[in-house]
Amino acid sequence: MAKILIKNPEVFGIGGFVQKADIAIDGVQIAYVGNVPDDWRADQVIDGDGKLAIPGFVNTHTHAAMTLFRSYADDMRLMDWLEKKIWPAEANLTGEDVYWGTQLAIAEMIRTGTTTFADMYFYMDDVARAVESSGIRAVLARGMIGVTPAGNQSLIESEELYRQWHNGADGRITVMMGPHAPYTCPPEYLKKVVNSAMRLGAEIHIHLAETKSEVEECIRLHGKSPIQLMEELGVLQCGVLAAHCVHIDAADIAIMNKHNVRVAHNPGSNMKLASGIAPVVALLEAGVCVSLGTDGAASNNNLDMLEELRLATLLQKVHHLDPVALPAKQAVLMGTANGAKALNLDKIIGHLAPGYHADITLLDTHSPHWFPKHDRISLLAYAANPGDVHTVIVDGRVLLNNHQLTTIDEEKMMYEAQARGMRLVSKTL
């Protein structure tokens, strides 16, 4: 594979310190950050002058193909949104719809600096095909709803997905089990999921404690919070990526810390659906890994991780009436290193250092909103915008070169997404 030299960028390194340093990429890995040997020869040189190099953003919770429903059903209550709009429209999906919706999501994510995403949806073979062809990194889970007649079939499909795609696409794809939530997956069904996960050695990606009504209903039915119920059923013992975790208390947090539950915090979606404000500060103080996700584009309505890290820090400040709550550096780490840890990829991505895979985002800082440059990390968290994303590299392959996608036919993808999105919703009218 090619050798790439990123010449003279400012580098967000381990520990969050920013310094000028060349980055040498040899194949899929970073070979040097600074102190590149004089005799090291690159096949390609990228001008990093005036640019900030950061680990690629890691979006730890989304439903990629829901880009097809962007702007279709806004300003609704969560269960009305799901039951009256989203689920009826999703009943019309085909594998090709999901492929093109995922391509649309991947294009948006690459353009906004994301190099890895965790997805839970349907027709996951088609999602995997989109990931494989685009060059992005992904953790995939077949969404399972145990209260439907297709519940057992979706469990079979989840196992098949794991066997076919885990460590696929040259290692860029890993697979988790994806039971949707406790309110759609009864205890007996979740026990089947746990047995399957234990047999395969797979972890679990699940929505937990997203809304107040969900928690109240769980306590009414089972006498326990969703977190407590998951512990009782053995779900947490499998290793869990938990999306949302908005309505949790100190007892829940202690259980989560005990079982190393990693949280995907989705501030934009939580705000738009009025789900509430997750106790991010308390989770971090307890030692729980908190990362960032966008959720699907139907409930956000974009896949911009820069927006999520900004919302995360601002929301905690106003919630606690404390301007020092969740500072900029912590928010950036939530979107990068914590994201890698949340997906069990922290040994290969999440840092710009020798030996890590070359998943790198370069932001052009030569714009008025980047001046004066008192604090690069503050500027990244509070001032940067998606248009600043100049170059995106995954596994040493350039996926965005000077704002241009290199692996996706953008015009064809947008044409397909428009036609398919309109067809899906027209069938529900």
What would the pLDDT profile of 36-58 be if each residue is shown by its tens digit? 999 999 999 999 999 999 999 99
**HSE (side-chain half, CA atoms, 13 Å) at 73:** 30
Is residue 294 within 8 Å of residue 266, measured between CB atoms?
A: yes
pLDDT (tens digit per residue) in 126-148: 999 999 999 999 999 999 999 99
**Going by DSSP bridges, is the β-strand pair 3-7/44-47 parallel, antiparallel, or unpaired?**
parallel
Residues 6+ positions from 209 with CB-CB distance below 8 Å: 215, 225, 226, 227, 244, 245, 246, 247, 248, 252
In contact, 80 and 384? CB cutoff 8 Å: no
Q: What sign does the CA torsion over 321, 322, 323, 325 have?
A: negative
Q: What is the mean pLDDT of residues 108-126?
A: 98
* Average pLDDT estimate for 384-409: 98
Show Cβ contacts of residue 71 under 8 Å, excluding neighbours closer than 6 positions: 301
Reported as a pLDDT band with limits 50, 70 and 90, residue 16 is confident
Work out the average pLDDT over 14-32. 93
User: Mean pLDDT in the chain?
Assistant: 96
- The contacts found for 399-402 with CB under 8 angstroms, 24 or more apart, are 399/110, 399/115, 399/134, 399/135, 399/136, 400/110, 400/111
Q: What percent of the chain has pLDDT over 90?
A: 95
Q: Give per-residue burial for 111-133: e unless 16+ CB within 10 Å, then b.
A: bbbbbbbbbbbbbbbbbbbbbbe
- Phi, psi angle pair for 265, to nearest 5°: -85, 130
Q: Which CATH number does 3-54+356-405 carry?
A: 2.30.40.10
**What pLDDT digit, counting tens, does each position of 86-99 carry?**
989 999 999 999 99
Task: Please return the burial class of 325, using the count of CB atoms within 10 Å of its CB with bins 0-12, 13-18 and 19+.
Answer: middle
User: Quick one: pLDDT band at residue 362, thresholds 50, 70, 90?
Assistant: very high
pTM for the predicted model, two decimal places: 0.97
Sketch the domain layout of the chain as residue ranges: 3-54+356-405, 57-342
Q: Among 73-87, 110-124, 364-378, whose mean pLDDT is lowest?
A: 73-87
Strands (E), 29-111: 29-33, 44-47, 51-55, 57-62
53 contacts 362 by C-beta, under 8 angstroms: yes
Q: How far apart (Å, rounded) are the C-alpha atoms in residues 12 and 180?
A: 35
Second CATH level (architecture) for the domain 57-342: Alpha-Beta Barrel (3.20)
pLDDT computed for residue 429 by the predictor? 61
Residue 368: pLDDT above 70?
yes
Helical (H) or strand (E) element with 376? helix 376-382
Strand 173-179, strand 137-144: pairing: parallel
Q: Where are the beta strands (DSSP E) in 122-260?
A: 137-144, 173-179, 204-208, 240-244
The 10s digit of each residue's pLDDT in 258-302 is 999 999 999 999 999 999 999 999 999 999 999 999 999 998 999
Q: Which residue would you say has higher pLDDT here, 281 or 13? A: 281
Q: Confidence band (pLDDT; 50, 70, 90) for 354? A: very high
CA distance 362 to 47: 10
Would you give the DSSP letter of residue 357?
A: B
Q: What is the pLDDT of residue 416?
A: 98
Residue 181: predicted pLDDT: 98
